[in-house]
Amino acid sequence: MKILKSSFILAAVLSVLMLTSCSNNNENKSENGSECQVQNSEVVSFDEVLMTRRSVRSYDASKTITEEEVRELLISTQEAPSWANQQPSKYYVAMSPEKVEAVANLVGERNKQNIAGAPVLIVSTFEKGKSGFFQGDPANEVGDGWGAYDNGLSNAYFILKARAKGFDTLIMGMRDSDALRTLFNIPENEAIMAVISLGYRADEPKQPKHRPLEEIALFF
């Protein structure tokens, strides 16, 4: 009976250790290679990420995000495709309460209210004259529009990775770009695009109405 009880306790301790090593490694296997359950948000399916990613306009102010967590999201943006691998996107990350407040003051009153409590605000830019350019000249009529295109793709990787990790975001096109340029000392050759809030949802956002597929996709 005593042996049975000790084996049970040992098994319980081992399984806890296995789960811990899984979640520390962020992988599906423990250090010794055996299968084990990963108890974090990264196991969600891609469809679930797509379906639950929403523009979040209400944040839980009690939750914080570490610089390491933000770095992981930014690293995922490096997997995004870009014109001739130009990688024109750049990110200015406000994490200190002072900088977050300063950026929040530059996205308009409505946005400011909606992002209250988001611990991180990120300004997204792209370097002009790279994507869509060949030897200094625009390769076609889109010009720097390709830089904006690449930047949007990069942002998409960011917001989807964020959702996969359990975070929430709001992309904001309403922002004072001149003031942001001064705040972060952003060079003139960078076009300032969106400000993205990063945090945890306080309420469940509603899925917006989508246009019927027939209206947006034509098959020939």
Ligand X SMILES: Cc1cc2nc3c(=O)[nH]c(=O)nc-3n(C[C@H](O)[C@H](O)[C@H](O)COP(=O)(O)O)c2cc1C
d(CA 23, CA 41): 10
CA nearest 73: which of 199, 204, 215? 199
Residue 130: DSSP 8-state: S
Q: What are the distances in angstroms from CA 23 to CA 38, 41, 72, 184?
A: 6, 10, 15, 36
Alpha helices in 31-105 (DSSP H): 46-52, 67-77, 97-104
Q: Single out the segment in contact with ligand X by CB under 6 A; choices: 25-33, 43-51, 116-124, 165-173.
A: 165-173
Q: Single out the segment in contact with ligand X by CB under 6 A; choices: 91-99, 142-150, 170-178, 180-188.
A: 170-178
**Does 196 sit near ligand X (CB under 6 A)?**
no
Decide if 63 contacts 200 (C-beta within 8 A). Answer: yes
**Does 112 sit near ligand X (CB under 6 A)?**
no
Q: Which of 49, 73, 120, 172 binds ligand X (CB under 6 A)?
A: 172
Element (H, E) at 48: helix 46-52
Q: Which two tokens stand for residue 99?
A: 């900088």
Residue of this chain nearest to ligand X (CB atom): 173
Q: Which of 139, 171, 179, 186 binds ligand X (CB under 6 A)?
A: 171
Binding residues for ligand X, total number by CB under 6 A: 13
d(CA 119, CA 168): 11
Q: Which of 58, 82, 89, 111 binds ligand X (CB under 6 A)?
A: 111
Q: Which of 13, 17, 43, 174 binds ligand X (CB under 6 A)?
A: 174
Decide if 18 contacts 30 (C-beta within 8 A). Answer: yes
**Does 194 sit near ligand X (CB under 6 A)?**
yes
Q: Single out the segment in contact with ligand X by CB under 6 A; choices: 25-33, 35-43, 140-148, 164-172.
A: 164-172
d(CA 136, CA 10): 67
**Does 52 sit near ligand X (CB under 6 A)?**
no
Q: Which two tokens stand for residue 205?
A: 């956002």
Nearer to ligand X, 208 or 212 (CB): 208
Backbone angles phi, psi at 164, to 5 degrees: -60, -25
Q: Single out the segment in contact with ligand X by CB under 6 A; choices: 68-76, 98-106, 168-176, 180-188.
A: 168-176
Q: Least distance from C-beta 4 to ligand X, angstroms?
A: 54
Q: Least distance from C-beta 115 to ligand X, angstroms?
A: 9
What residues line the site for ligand X (CB under 6 A)?
A: 54-55, 57, 111, 114, 170-174, 194, 205, 208
